[in-house]
Chains A and B, each alone.
Chain A
Amino acid sequence: MSAPLEAPTSAATARHLGVRLAGRSIVRDVTLDMPQGAWVCIVGPNGAGKTTLLHAIAGLIPFEGEVELRGRPLRSYGRRERARNVALVPQQPVMPDGITVGEYVRLGRTPHLGVLGAELREDVLAVEAEIGRMDLRSAVDRRLDSLSGGEFQRVVIARALVQEAPLLLLDEPTTGLDLGHQVGMLELVEELRRTKGITVLSTMHDLTLAGRFADRFVLLSQGRVVSAGPRSDVLDAAVIAEHFGASVRVLGDGEVGWAVVPVSGGEA
């Protein structure tokens, strides 16, 4: 991709990022740029280090190299300040017992509150606004364990949104959702990106959905970036075959729209 004339400011960048967990190198020398307002999608086979990379960029695990948020090293951020700038929606969020939707969404305000977690009026309003926008008003007093998978996922997104962080990290946001809810979830993220101007970094397994929504791609394999750039470069049949060990065809924007489909018997 050619560099645009006026370089967009970066919401975040990672340079030579490496993570070792229990003596094993999980992420190696990853350099990537998240331009303001972009949707960057990390794809890659199982065990490629996608989740670990997200956790490092969220500042939750120790890493080598450098991560910058809005031009400032992540390491220079305090815990709460960091949480006001990066929100994470984990792949399998913990569902606390016996807590209501309202109480759960409110937890997202934690980094904005005083040390003892007392809320001001603006915090209450922020929570109410997000609950309204996410169509959760009627569910506010329902217990989390009474929600369906799709409803819970929306509640978790609402919790992340009340953090009011300009960078949103989504780890497999469509896991466990049916096709309709998968598309609904991604359309919601797309809308948030447009209306709020937030930058999204997500991991995704479904390459077709990823290709239709995100605008930049990073292919991670064995902890390294093996390809990065627009859809046409990264989600290429040959690249996918090499790193996923799967034969696919990539359909262009024809009758069914852009799609990655598996083919049988290596005829790709």
Chain B
Amino acid sequence: MTRRTRAVVLGVVVLIVAFIAGLLVGPVPIAPADALGWLFPFGERPPGLSEQQATILTDLRLPRVIVAGLVGAALSASGAGYQAVFRNPLADPYLLGAAAGAGLGATLAVVFGPSSAFAFAVPLAAFVGALAGVGLAYGLGRSGLGGRSTTSLILGGVAVASFLTAIQTLIQQQRSDTLRQVYSWILGRLGTTGWDDARIALPSVVIAVTILWLVRRLLDVIEVGELEAESLGLHVGRLRIVVVVAASLATAAAVSVAGLIAFVGIIVPHTVRLLAGSSYRQVLPLSVLFGASFLILVDLVARTAMAPAEIPIGVLTAFLGAPFFVFALRRSGGRAA
């Protein structure tokens, strides 16, 4: 087996383990044999499984694990995509302002949108907001802050994120009638996740991740820089747009159902690079697999570590991510991208 095949096999095994652990572990214990007998194939309820346990399994834990996996895959794949097209190891949906843009877009939809179209309008507004956030950060990092180095793009993203978050806070304050609704959504949680969230996230995440997966080989070409990539016949501008749109779609879907969960887009792709090398042929599919497992497991910790209380999952990823960010920054050596 090549190193790449081994990594993919490992990724699949870890995902299966994380998925099963996510179903079995919780305040209400469920025996593995019962749970698996009930879900695969979805037939007669085994005698050892009470009706309450069955409901917990199908209506609470199963959608929650699926959404956690989708959000983790989406954030990791979009982080890898942004890192490739901006040639910037620190690019991430959060540091680029994409998530803040999605947050503002979703808030606007919640506050001003018709309540009947809520389920549809929020992800759409989040998508438009995410694109606007990245566009602003890129424009600012490129023109306003002198050069397109690693730091100027990230500084642009941080400035955009702060600005958009400020607008969002202002809107929340002005419209206190919807404050609760917006606030519970922003906190970044999977605690209230149900099948509706899975239905909202699934199509966008599948489409976006498929697009990113399809262009994975071209992402390696961009790594030699714009001039050389063009000399190899690559339309860099077009590829950048395709990837930014797909990554922003994935980010928007993740933010729509899970609120703000930072740093996943940095932690997972960088870990994968250490494991299997930097070619996006490996980084992209492995980020999807490990990203899904990572968030399922982090969510598992978030809901069990201080049970019955839940730690907001965004808090946990930040605990892990902030030190990791410093590691990634040191590893990149402040290299001008």
Q: Is A150 an interface residue (CB 8 A)?
A: no
User: CA A139 – CA B27 in complex, angstroms?
Assistant: 54
User: CA A87 – CA B221 in complex, angstroms?
Assistant: 15
A50 to chain B, nearest CB (A): 15
A21 to chain B, nearest CB (A): 13
Q: Is B196 an interface residue (CB 8 A)?
A: no
Interface contact B233-A108, CB-CB below 8 Å: no
In the complex, chain A residues whose CB is within 8 Å of the CB of B332: 97
User: CA A152 – CA B231 in complex, angstroms?
Assistant: 19
The one of B89, B221, B278 that contacts A117, using a Cβ cutoff of 8 Å: B221
Chain A interface bracket (under 10, 10 to 19, 20 to 34, 35 or more): 20 to 34
Interface contact A55-B217, CB-CB below 8 Å: no
When A96-B223, A98-B278, A103-B279 are in contact, do A116 and B217 touch as well, CB less than 8 Å?
yes
User: CA A97 – CA B220 in complex, angstroms?
Assistant: 11
Interface contact B278-A79, CB-CB below 8 Å: no
The one of B89, B214, B233 that contacts A110, using a Cβ cutoff of 8 Å: B233
Q: Mark A48-71, 1 if CB is under 8 A from B, else 0.
A: 000000010010100000000000
A153 to chain B, nearest CB (A): 14
In the complex, chain B residues whose CB is within 8 Å of the CB of A58: 231
Interface contact B233-A80, CB-CB below 8 Å: yes
The one of A55, A88, A110 that contacts B234, using a Cβ cutoff of 8 Å: A110
Q: Is B51 an interface residue (CB 8 A)?
A: no
CB interface residues, B 175-225, toward A, < 8 Å = 214-215, 217-218, 220-221, 223-225
When A90-B228, A107-B221, A116-B218 are in contact, do A96 and B233 touch as well, CB less than 8 Å?
no
Q: Is B235 an interface residue (CB 8 A)?
A: yes
User: CA A111 – CA B197 in complex, angstroms?
Assistant: 42
The one of A55, A81, A97, A108 that contacts B232, using a Cβ cutoff of 8 Å: A108
User: CA A96 – CA B219 in complex, angstroms?
Assistant: 12
A78 to chain B, nearest CB (A): 8
User: CA A81 – CA B278 in complex, angstroms?
Assistant: 28
In the complex, chain B residues whose CB is within 8 Å of the CB of A108: 232
In the complex, chain B residues whose CB is within 8 Å of the CB of A90: 227-228, 231
Interface contact A99-B277, CB-CB below 8 Å: yes
When A93-B224, A96-B223, A99-B279 are in contact, do A60 and B230 touch as well, CB less than 8 Å?
yes
The one of A88, A93, A103 that contacts B220, using a Cβ cutoff of 8 Å: A103
Which single residue of chain A is at the shortest CB-CB distance from B219? A117
Interface contact A83-B231, CB-CB below 8 Å: yes
User: CA A108 – CA B281 in complex, angstroms?
Assistant: 16
Interface contact B233-A60, CB-CB below 8 Å: no
Q: Mark B310-322, 1 if CB is under 8 A from A, else 0.
A: 0000000000000
In the complex, chain B residues whose CB is within 8 Å of the CB of A113: 217
Q: Is A22 an interface residue (CB 8 A)?
A: no
B221 to chain A, nearest CB (A): 5
Q: Is A174 an interface residue (CB 8 A)?
A: no
Which single residue of chain B is at the shortest CB-CB distance from A114? B217
User: CA A92 – CA B225 in complex, angstroms?
Assistant: 11
Interface contact B224-A107, CB-CB below 8 Å: yes
Interface contact B232-A60, CB-CB below 8 Å: no
Q: Is B240 an interface residue (CB 8 A)?
A: no
CB interface residues, B 250-288, toward A, < 8 Å = 273, 277-279, 281
The one of A60, A98, A117 that contacts B231, using a Cβ cutoff of 8 Å: A60
Q: Mark A99-119, 1 if CB is under 8 A from B, else 0.
A: 110010001101101001110
CB interface residues, A 224-252, toward B, < 8 Å = none
B209 to chain A, nearest CB (A): 15
In the complex, chain B residues whose CB is within 8 Å of the CB of A96: 220, 223-224, 278
A128 to chain B, nearest CB (A): 16
User: CA A225 – CA B224 in complex, angstroms?
Assistant: 31
In the complex, chain B residues whose CB is within 8 Å of the CB of A94: 223-225, 228
Interface contact A82-B225, CB-CB below 8 Å: no
When A99-B223, A116-B218 are in contact, do A110 and B279 touch as well, CB less than 8 Å?
no
Q: Mark A137-156, 1 if CB is under 8 A from B, else 0.
A: 00000000000000000000
User: CA A55 – CA B278 in complex, angstroms?
Assistant: 29
B84 to chain A, nearest CB (A): 10
Q: Is A84 an interface residue (CB 8 A)?
A: yes
Q: Mark A163-177, 1 if CB is under 8 A from B, else 0.
A: 100000000000000
In the complex, chain A residues whose CB is within 8 Å of the CB of B277: 98-100, 103
When A60-B227, A94-B224, A116-B217 are in contact, do A99 and B278 touch as well, CB less than 8 Å?
yes
CB interface residues, B 231-247, toward A, < 8 Å = 231-235
User: CA A80 – CA B232 in complex, angstroms?
Assistant: 7
User: CA A55 – CA B231 in complex, angstroms?
Assistant: 9
Interface contact A163-B232, CB-CB below 8 Å: yes
B75 to chain A, nearest CB (A): 21
| Residue contacts A-B, CB under 8 angstroms, 6 given | A79-B230, A83-B232, A97-B332, A103-B281, A113-B217, A116-B217
Using CB atoms and an 8 Å cutoff, list the residues of chain B in contact with chain A.
89, 214-215, 217-218, 220-221, 223-225, 227-228, 230-235, 273, 277-279, 281, 332, 335
The 5 closest A-B pairs by CB, nearest first: A98-B278, A83-B233, A111-B233, A117-B217, A96-B223
A99-B278, A110-B234 known, 16 other contacts, Cβ within 8 Å: A60-B230, A83-B231, A83-B233, A88-B228, A96-B223, A97-B89, A97-B278, A98-B273, A98-B277, A99-B223, A99-B279, A100-B279, A110-B218, A110-B233, A113-B217, A163-B232
